Structure 1
Amino acid sequence: MQTNLLTVTIVIAVIALTSCVSQDKNAEDIGFQLAAPKTKSKTDSWIFEPQKYPGSSSGHAIGKKSSWQTQVTKLPMAVEKLSDAAVVELTDELATYYAGPHYKRQVGTRPYLVRAVFWNYTGDFDLYWNDEALYVHHSSLGGIYGETKLPIVVNLKQPPKAVYVYMSSAL
């Protein structure tokens, strides 16, 4: 009996979310709360697309051992810290606070909290350094459900003069 009730509850939730997508509504409009903060308007957007995309052939790729997503429990504070700036230098203690216990600073680098966004929960971030600018790209599969802010901690040798934040998705 409990299994059937759970199944019915899940089906109702899926139908409700599907109707939101088809009616161009957010999940929050019907009472669902997602962990990461959604962008409310275009002026609130963190997307800052470059005129030229560096890709893996130009610039320097920043490896996965040099960047960490903000922990879910620290998202509101990280988003607030980046409300007026695309990048903020951190202490090692704050980097660990936002990124968690796996954070480790490499010799010759400093930790920075930088803006990053994604459309859905599939995919991953790619970071590139090119001409004193940081490029933060999230690629994913599936539908586009609105910009979701997810600050990341990244170790860099110097502060970037510009931070380009953009996304792509394959359907």
Structure 2
Amino acid sequence: MAAPVDTVAKLLDMTPRRVQQLANEGIIPKPKDRGQYEILPCVVGYIKHLRGLIDGEGGDLVAEKTRLTRAQAEKAEIEAAMLKGEQVSLADAERSWSAMVLAFRNKILNVPLCAPMAVLNKSEEETQRILTDMVYEALAELSGWKTDDENAE
């Protein structure tokens, strides 16, 4: 169904000049006959255009400003979460985990070195208790681990 530019403009809530601009930009189809626009393809084309603007695919200044605003809002949310201590950087998390694992590793590797001392003049039960206590000590240290920042407080 074809309609004049004024009808399409009213339907899309814009001026007739804007309808012509959209047709020239390829957003809606150009009129087939002199000034007669196909209504359905015009509506579909305009809806696709609006969806593209919302999704940031418009490639125009409005779309770029929208994308920038979203990025700035996301950055502000991340910074706020970091200030509240709800989020940490990946680098800080990696450093903390590495230090924690290294400290645990060193504690556990000391257990076999202390075994000869534990065995010396001790019963089997006493030796087992000493070695078990050493493992529990390493686990307790691991469970109560604090980062360098937390230790400074």
Q: State the TM-score, normalizing by the size of structure 2.
A: 0.22
Higher share of residues assigned strand: 1
Higher relative contact order at CA 8 Å, sep ≥6: structure 1 or structure 2?
Answer: 1
Q: Normalising by structure 1, what TM-score?
A: 0.20
Structure 1 or 2: larger helix share? 2
